[in-house]
Amino acid sequence: MLEKTARILEHMVNRIATVLFSVIFITMLLQIFFRYMLDSPLVWTEELCRYLFIWTCFLGWTIALRRKSHIRISYFIELLPYSLGKMVTFVFQLLIFVFLIQLLRYGIAMTARSFSVPTITLFFSWAYVYLAVPLSAAIMLLYSVVDVIDLFREGSWKSVKGEE
């Protein structure tokens, strides 16, 4: 059940990140066109791209966590006996889980405090920008739980080695 939810969520996050990145690209092309061809730069494009980039980075973080593609040194874990490697990986997953709980907690607080603060040129609340933090943390918490469950499935070594 959790694995299926994680797969569906992963698919949605991939699509959303792709759309956001495409909007950044199109917006930057618009800015270039208006600035250099029409000599009338758009004032809102840079700010929009910055906010979309924040969202894209946080969603990219969730994608990297799901695919286990973050930079890490697994050489020493792979040298360990099977059960000890699982134990060390579990401890790392536990540390990730604790960090994500804190990120979720402070992200919610930061988002709640910023609802009344408007952005400079786009005139929507900063809360929509900050919402990337708790939303990404919640998604990564789900992925982390799925990874721990997968880690303790019989014969599963992919969570330790980061292979699919």
pTM for the model = 0.84
| Confidence (pLDDT) at 155 | 58
pLDDT score of 159 more than 50 = no
Q: Convert the pLDDT of each residue in 1-50 to its tens digit.
A: 888 999 999 999 999 999 999 999 999 999 999 999 999 999 999 999 99
Range of the domain at 51: 2-161
Q: Convert the pLDDT of each residue in 64-108 to its tens digit.
A: 999 888 777 777 888 888 888 888 889 999 999 999 999 999 999
Q: Which of 117, 106, 122, 113 is nearest to 49 (CA)?
A: 122
- When divided into structural domains, the chain yields a total of 1
